[in-house]
C-alpha cells in the first residue's frame, strides 16, 4: 500500500473470552488473515465497553474484566477484504464486523515486493 491508495478497513469486535476450538476468536481471525495473505492485522484490547446484551465490561472492576472488548483491525485492498469476509462466517457468533473505506496517508516499513521504503514512503534501492 502506498500513500493515496484507497483501501478498506475491516474491524471485527469480539469479546476477549470468545473461543473457537479452544483458541481465542481474535487469534483465529489474525491467523486466517495471515493465511489468506492480507497485508496485516492488529488486535486492540478495550478498557471498557458493551455489546448487544448491554452488559458493561470494564477493567476497573476485577469481576467484569474477564471478557473485555477486543477489536481486530485489518487494512487491505477492497477486493481482498471482500473476499476475506466469508472466512468470518461461523467464527464470529457474537460480535460485530464493519468495513469502511479509508485512504492510506503514510505507509511505513517494507513493501510486499521486498523493497525498502524511506520515511516518506518512497522506494529505495536494495
Per residue in 13-39, pLDDT tens? 999 989 999 999 999 999 999 999 999
CA angle 74, 80, 86 (to 5 degrees): 85
**pTM of this structure:** 0.78
**Given the DSSP bridges, would you call strands 19-20 and 48-49 parallel, antiparallel or unpaired?**
unpaired
User: Contact 73/10 with Cβ under 8 angstroms?
Assistant: yes
Q: What is the pLDDT of residue 97?
A: 96
- Among 125, 106, 73, smallest CA distance to 2 is for 106
Say what the pLDDT of residue 62 is: 59
Q: Does the 6-103 domain belong in CATH 3.20.20.20?
A: no
The domain locations on the chain are: 6-103
Other residues' Cβ atoms within 10 Å of the Cβ of residue 34: 11
The grid coordinates listed for 71 are 477489536
Q: Is the pLDDT of residue 8 over 50?
A: yes
List pLDDT tens digits, range 63-112. Answer: 556 678 899 999 999 999 999 999 999 998 888 999 999 999 887 776 55
CA–CA separation, 30 vs 44, rounded Å?
Answer: 12
Amino acid at each position: 500500500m502506498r500513500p493515496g491508495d484507497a483501501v478498506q478497513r475491516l474491524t471485527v469486535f469480539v469479546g476477549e473470552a470468545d473461543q473457537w476450538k479452544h483458541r481465542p476468536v481474535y487469534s483465529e481471525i489474525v491467523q486466517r488473515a495471515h493465511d489468506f495473505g492480507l497485508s496485516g492485522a492488529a488486535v486492540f484490547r478495550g478498557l471498557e465497553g458493551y455489546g448487544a446484551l448491554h452488559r458493561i465490561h470494564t477493567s476497573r472492576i476485577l469481576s467484569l474484566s474477564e471478557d473485555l472488548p477486543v477489536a481486530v483491525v485489518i487494512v487491505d485492498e477492497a477486493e481482498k477484504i471482500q473476499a476475506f469476509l466469508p472466512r468470518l462466517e461461523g467464527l464470529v457468533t457474537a460480535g460485530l464486523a464493519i468495513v469502511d473505506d479509508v485512504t492510506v496517508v503514510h505507509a511505513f516499513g517494507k513493501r510486499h515486493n521486498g523493497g525498502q521504503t524511506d520515511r516518506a514512503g518512497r522506494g529505495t534501492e536494495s
